[in-house]
A and B are shown apart, each in its own frame.
Chain A
Amino acid sequence: MYPKDLRYSKEHEWARTEGNRVRVGITKFAADRLSDVVYVELPQVGAEVSFMQPFGVVESVKAVSDLYAPVSGRVAEINRALVEKPELINTDPYGEAWMIVVEPRDLAELDRLMDAAAYAAMVGEATS
Chain B
Amino acid sequence: MDGVGTLRRTPLYEVHRAAGARMVPFGGWEMPVQYSGIIEEHLAVRTRAGLFDVSHMGEVELAGPGALALAQRLVTNDVARLAVGQALYTPMCTPEGGIIDDLLVYRLDDARLMLVVNATNTQEDLAWIRAHAADDVRVIDRTAEVALLALQGPRSLAILQRLTPTPLETVPYYRFRDGVEVAGRRTLVSRTGYTGEDGFEVYCAPGDAPHLWSAILEAGRPDGVLPAGLGARDTLRLEAGYLLHGNDMDTATTPLEAGLGWTVKLQKGEFIGADALRRQKAVGISRRLAGFTLEERAIARHGFAILHEGTPIGRVTSGTFGPSVGKSIGLGYLPPEHAEPGRRVAVEIRGRAVPGVVTKLPFYTRPQPAPA
Contacts and interface: CB of A to CB of B under 8 A. Distances in A.
B296 interface: yes
Chain B interface size, under 10 / 10 to 19 / 20 to 34 / 35 or more: 10 to 19
A38 B33 contact: no
Kindly name the residue among B39, B320, B350 whose own CB sees the greatest number of chain A CB atoms within 10 A. Answer: B39
B321 A61 contact: yes
Given A35-B34, A38-B321, A59 B299 contact: yes
A39 B299 contact: yes
Contacts of A48: none
Contacts of A1: none
B350 A62 contact: no
Nearest to B232: A61
Interface string B277-317: 00000000000000000001111010000000000000000
Main secondary structure of the interface of B (DSSP, over half): mixed
Nearest to A83: B297
B297 A62 contact: no
B299 A61 contact: yes
A115 interface: no
Contacts of A126: none
A41 B298 contact: yes
A122 interface: no
B106 to A, nearest CB: 32
Interface string A30-44: 000001101101000
A86 B320 contact: no
A35 B235 CA distance: 14
B37 interface: yes
Contacts of B296: 39
B38 A62 contact: yes
A47 interface: no
Interface in B305-342: 320-321, 328
A122 to B, nearest CB: 20
B298 A36 contact: no
Interface string B1-44: 00000000000000000000000000000000110011100000
B66 interface: no
B320 A61 contact: yes
B37 A86 contact: no
A57 B33 contact: no
Nearest to A41: B298
A32 to B, nearest CB: 10
B231 interface: yes
A83 B296 CA distance: 9
Contact of B297 (A35, A39, A64): A39
Given A38-B321, A61-B39, 18 more contacts: A35-B38, A36-B38, A38-B297, A39-B298, A39-B299, A39-B321, A39-B328, A41-B350, A57-B350, A61-B38, A61-B235, A61-B320, A61-B321, A62-B33, A62-B38, A62-B231, A64-B299, A87-B39
Interface of A: 35-36, 38-39, 41, 57, 59, 61-62, 64, 83, 86-87, 90
Q: Which 7 A-B pairs have the closest CB atoms?
A: A38-B321, A39-B297, A36-B39, A36-B38, A61-B38, A39-B298, A35-B37
Interface of B: 33-34, 37-39, 231, 235, 296-299, 301, 320-321, 328, 350
